[in-house]
């Protein structure tokens, strides 16, 4: 069963201009953060979005749980079209859709005891009274490994380490027993030695609640550890999607290959490395045709003229490239 389906989703942010710039040009400019992406997340599965900084991952995550309003496209959650749903309609769904943010330092209220932070959603959603919520929060503290729970309940965020704070953020998201979560780089700001334990904790809840997860990361090695499917994003577009195994074993898009070339643990010795030229382009004025073409070592003239569509190459493997690197491992 499909938990979440996104079609041709777009979000453009207007560029803020200075007074002088406004005098010089009246033309409005937009950052094309998410520029027509489609994907499906099946029940109980982990779908990862991978790509460089600024490619639109967080914006996508915020759009699908409707913390951000889309400009175009469609978002269907559990068979309900929520693309332009009003806050009142979204309210009952908010319980089922949660988000875990990248920065555990910024996402918790610094003045609230962590136990109350975890209990709060139960009260806000009218699910429990104060006493019941406290009991549930204590159980949840145990569940996320912050024990003795009574002691942790009373602490403030600044008394915790980054890893512990992220456990609190996960507890707060999980107390509502959601069906779907967006995990936005949940381990990127955590000490490397603690990452695996945080990922394991997320996976424990996945099994417990049969969660579907949109997992956001810039790190293919992390995505590989926990995903069923991986989608690679570049400048607001999805350029390749496949099952994790298929994408790592048989990458076809030069951009995916370049990402893989930079991860030693995923790099196969017989593979040819793909090195891109220059830096990620400007999302205000993205390159014509294929957005990767100025950086791509395989680009030909068609690449600057025509935008490649996401095409199936069998085995549920989709690639948007005029010259996919077929059968080259
Ligand atoms: N609220 C906003 N207003 C204006 N521009 C925004 C806003 N949010 C994001 N952007 C821009 O949209 C683009 C995509 O940003 P987004 O945060 O989605 O990228 P990301 O892939 O999550 O990057 P990172 O890996 O650095 O977290 C960027 O160019 C960013 O500057
Ligand atoms: Mg981000």
Domain map of the chain by residue range?
A: 2-96+176-240
Rounded CA-CA distance 260/201 in Å is: 26
In this structure, are residues 320 and 239 in contact, taking their beta carbons and an 8 Å threshold? Answer: yes
pLDDT in tens, the chain (329 residues): 999 999 999 999 998 877 777 777 777 889 999 999 999 999 999 999 999 999 999 999 999 999 999 999 999 999 999 999 999 999 989 999 999 988 877 888 999 999 999 999 999 999 999 999 999 999 999 999 999 999 999 999 999 998 999 999 999 999 999 999 999 998 888 888 888 999 999 999 999 999 999 999 999 999 999 999 999 999 999 999 999 999 999 999 999 999 998 887 776 667 778 889 888 888 898 999 999 999 999 999 999 999 999 999 999 999 999 999 887 55
Cα(132) to centroid of ligand 1, in Å? 39
> What are the structure tokens assigned to 203, written together?
């996976």
Ligand 1 atom 27 nearest Cα: 53
DSSP annotation of 16 reads: P
Q: Which atom of ligand 1 is nearest to the CA of 185?
A: 27
Cα(256) to centroid of ligand 1, in Å? 20
Substitution candidate for ligand 1 out of 14, 30, 31 with most atoms within 8 A of CB: 31
DSSP reduced 3-state for 244: helix
Q: Is the pTM of this model over 0.85?
A: yes
Q: Which atom of ligand 1 is nearest to the CA of 16?
A: 4
Ligand 1 atom 2 nearest Cα: 13
- Tell me the CATH number of domain 2-96+176-240, given options 3.40.605.10, 3.40.50.300, 3.40.50.11890, 3.30.499.10: 3.40.50.300
- Using CB distances shorter than 6 Å, the residues near ligand 1 are 13, 31, 33, 51, 53-59, 218, 283
Which helix (H) or strand (E) covers residue 123, if one does?
A: helix 114-124
For 41-88, give the secondary structure using H, E and C: EECCCEEEEECCCCCCHHHHHHHHCCCCCCCEEEEEECCEECCCCCHH
């Amino acid at each position: 069963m499909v938990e979440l389906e996104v079609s041709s989703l777009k979000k453009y942010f207007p560029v803020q201009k200075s007074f002088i710039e406004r005098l010089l040009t009246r033309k409005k400019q937009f950052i094309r953060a998410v520029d027509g992406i489609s994907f499906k997340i099946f029940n109980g599965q982990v779908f990862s979005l991978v790509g460089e900084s600024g490619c639109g991952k967080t914006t996508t995550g915020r759009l699908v749980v409707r913390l951000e309003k889309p400009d175009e496209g469609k978002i269907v959650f559990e068979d309900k079209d929520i693309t332009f749903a009003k806050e009142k309609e979204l309210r009952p769904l908010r319980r089922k859709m949660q988000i875990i943010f990248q920065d555990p330092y910024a996402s918790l209220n610094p003045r609230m005891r962590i136990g109350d932070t975890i209990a709060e959603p139960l009260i806000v959603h009218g699910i429990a009274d104060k006493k019941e919520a406290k009991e549930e929060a204590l159980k949840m503290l145990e569940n996320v490994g912050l024990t003795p729970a009574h002691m942790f309940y009373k602490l403030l965020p600044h008394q915790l380490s980054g890893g512990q704070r992220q456990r609190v953020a996960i507890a707060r998201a999980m107390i509502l027993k959601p069906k779907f979560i967006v995990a936005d780089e949940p381990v990127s700001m955590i000490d490397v030695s603690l990452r695996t334990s945080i990922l394991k904790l997320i996976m424990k809840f996945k099994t417990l609640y049969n969660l579907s997860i949109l997992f956001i990361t810039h790190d293919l090695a992390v995505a590989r550890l926990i995903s069923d499917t991986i989608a690679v994003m570049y400048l607001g577009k999805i350029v390749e999607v496949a099952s994790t195994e298929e994408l790592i074993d048989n990458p076809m898009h030069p951009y995916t290959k370049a990402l893989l070339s930079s991860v030693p643990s995923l790099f196969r010795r017989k593979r040819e490395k793909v090195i891109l030229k220059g830096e990620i382009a400007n999302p205000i004025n993205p390159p014509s045709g294929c957005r990767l073409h100025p950086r791509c070592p395989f680009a030909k003239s068609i690449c600057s003229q025509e935008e490649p569509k996401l095409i199936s190459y069998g085995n549920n493997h989709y690639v948007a490239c005029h010259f996919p690197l077929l059968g080259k491992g």
